[in-house]
């Protein structure tokens, strides 16, 4: 993302892991943003140390189960993640082509999800970014 000419600002919108990338862009403060909209960004580390440890542990446990299921060769390991967020049976209720796509893209999802745990995020970072 280059700087707009004349020092103008631009809006930035990100969804899912794109939301995490958008958040990283905002926190680095190298691009002047008019606004920032983040939808469903997996900024899991925000939960840690924010009186949300129970939720953090729950998400970490789900992730460990998901990764272990994939590593053991379960072709439908992604169901663990999808059912966690959508409720039990969500994966099974998806059309076959959606399930196939989710299964085919599981290796990329695993890499993306693992990177979310390395994202350094804390409440003070957000306060500093909002002061831009």
Q: How confident is the model at residue 44 (pLDDT cuts 50, 70, 90)?
A: confident
Do the Cβ atoms of 3 and 31 come closer than 8 Å?
yes
Q: What is the mean pLDDT of residues 58-77?
A: 96
| Cα 38 to Cα 12: distance, rounded to the nearest angstrom | 8
The DSSP 8-state label assigned to residue 32 in this structure reads -
pTM above 0.85?
no
Helix, strand and coil in the chain, % to nearest 5? 60, 10, 30
CA proximity to 117, closest of 44, 27, 52: 44
Q: How confident is the model at residue 35 (pLDDT cuts 50, 70, 90)?
A: very high
Summarised one tens digit per residue, pLDDT across range 97-125 is 999 999 999 999 999 888 887 776 655 55
């Amino acid at each position: 993302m280059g700087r707009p000419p004349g020092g103008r600002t631009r809006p930035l919108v990100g969804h899912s892991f794109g939301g995490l990338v958008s958040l990283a862009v905002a926190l680095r403060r190298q691009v002047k943003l008019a606004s920032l909209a983040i939808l469903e960004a997996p900024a899991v580390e925000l939960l840690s140390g924010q009186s949300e440890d129970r939720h953090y542990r729950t998400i970490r446990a789900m992730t460990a189960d998901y990764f272990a299921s994939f590593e053991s060769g379960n072709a439908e390991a992604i169901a663990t993640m999808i059912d966690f967020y959508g409720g039990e049976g969500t994966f099974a209720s998806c059309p076959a082509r959606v399930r196939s796509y989710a299964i085919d893209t599981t290796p990329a999802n695993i890499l993306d999800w693992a990177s979310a745990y390395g994202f350094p995020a804390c409440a003070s970072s957000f306060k500093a970014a909002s002061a831009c």
